[in-house]
Amino acid sequence: MDRPFALLAELTYECPLHCAYCSNPLELSRYTDELSTGEWQRVFTESRELGALQLHLSGGEPLRRRDVVELVRTGRELGMYSNLVTSGLGLSAARAEQLREAGLDHVQISVQADEPVLSDRLAGTPSYQRKIDAARTVKELGWPLTVNVVLHRQNLDRIEGILALVEEMGADRVELANTQYYGWAWRNRAALLPTREQLERAEQVVREARERLRSRMQILYILPDYYERYPKPCMGGWASRQVVVAPNGDALPCLAAHELPLPRANVRERSLEWIWEESPLFQRFRGTDWMPQPCRGCERRELDFGGCRCQAFQLTGDAARTDPVCHLSPDHDIVTAAVRRANDRADDAAGPHEVALTPRPHPREVVL
């Protein structure tokens, strides 16, 4: 593809939750100068002119933006399919009616666990029942509902109950996504990386649920990279399918690219077309010419594109190296050591929760 098919608009990093696996940047104070309504509308228009058909409104919590209804209406006027990615907090019946009238097409709600105590602990705030109520509102208004569950060491043993809850919520689709270790998840990796035994049991539960629910609910299960033999492709290939725009206007090829030591590209300074086609940031790892060995000579180079650039940087300090998740990477021992420590802790401790979680702070709290 030479044009993006989707825009992920991270409207704000304000969020009522404090999830310890949040992939938002650690330095949240850098993103408080948010794009105005008019600036976002211009970004939507430019993305549509580039060819984007999907508009994903995310954050943080996009419902913290007072203009979210107006922004949804803009997306509808541009002919874009809009998806609200929300915690569910703030989705009152009145707000939901406004969003439906404005043309919102789809809602995705996050769930942390299947019972209130654990759910509220992982979310960092009482939120369990409000999520259930939000899902009920979504179904009453006739929207398709996706439920997203980030899986990790702290909740993976609850997979059966989570699937039962999602079924009860009436979800049309569930994303069971094992944690990606960026942002706060990277800081909390020791408390989040699951054991092999947990994963094997979860996979069996998911297989059985897919068979039982195949006519009613789509179940997407994403394994954690650290337990894979080969890495996943970076968003289908660096800067090939989607544009991410952060609250302050930084345009990114993927959610975690803000961590990379590359030149910034901001929609307040350049058009989205220029950013997509000419910016050094979007050009840097596009295609396969940049690849080192063993990626350059690998038959999978156009399948996984060398893996995740952000993960390579996170683990090795060099975004151009082969993703250490790959068993062919010269840095693969970094991953195997982390996996070994995760499984050794399971043998030494009474349960999976022996390492404390550091919750994500409010964006305006001081981050040390």
For residue 243, count other CB atoms closer than 10 A to its CB.
26
Closest CA to 198 of 20, 360, 358, 345: 345
Note the pLDDT tens digit of each residue in 183-208. 889 999 999 999 999 999 999 999 99
Q: How far apart are CA 20 and CA 360, in angstroms?
A: 5
Residue type, 208: E
Supply φ then ψ for residue 242, to 5 degrees.
Answer: -145, 150
Supply φ then ψ for residue 266, to 5 degrees.
Answer: -125, 135
- The answer to whether 310 is annotated as binding is no
Provide CB contacts within 8 A for 42, sequence distance 6+: 267
Asked whether the beta carbons of 198 and 352 are under 8 A apart, the reply is yes
Domain ranges of the chain: 1-367
Q: Mean per-residue pLDDT for 122-131?
A: 96
Q: Mean per-residue pLDDT for 213-228?
A: 93
Question: What is the percent of the chain with per-residue pLDDT over 70, rounded to a whole number?
Answer: 94
Closest CA to 75 of 108, 52, 98, 96: 52
Q: Supply the mean pLDDT for the chain.
A: 92
- pTM of the predicted model, to two decimals? 0.93
Q: Which DSSP string corresponds to 329-351?
A: STTHHHHHHHHHHHHHHHHHSSS
At 13, list the tokens.
């990093």
- The answer to whether 295 is annotated as binding is no
Q: Mean per-residue pLDDT for 140-144?
A: 97
Q: Is the pLDDT of residue 354 over 60?
A: no
Query: In the CATH scheme, what architecture does the domain 1-367 have?
Result: Alpha-Beta Barrel (3.20)
Note the pLDDT tens digit of each residue in 70-91. 999 999 999 999 999 999 999 9
Note the pLDDT tens digit of each residue in 300-337. 999 999 999 999 999 999 999 999 999 999 999 999 99
Residue type, 98: Q
Supply φ then ψ for residue 83, to 5 degrees.
Answer: -130, 125
Closest CA to 87 of 181, 190, 12: 12
Q: Is the pLDDT of residue 244 over 50?
A: yes
For residue 244, count other CB atoms closer than 10 A to its CB.
22
Look at the block and give the residue holding tokens 């979680």.
357
For residue 333, count other CB atoms closer than 10 A to its CB.
11
Please give the C-alpha separations between residue 366 and each of 122, 250, 258, in angstroms, as whole numbers: 21, 21, 19
Name the E strands within 197-252: 218-222, 242-245, 251-252
- The answer to whether 234 is annotated as binding is no
Asked whether the beta carbons of 285 and 319 are under 8 A apart, the reply is yes
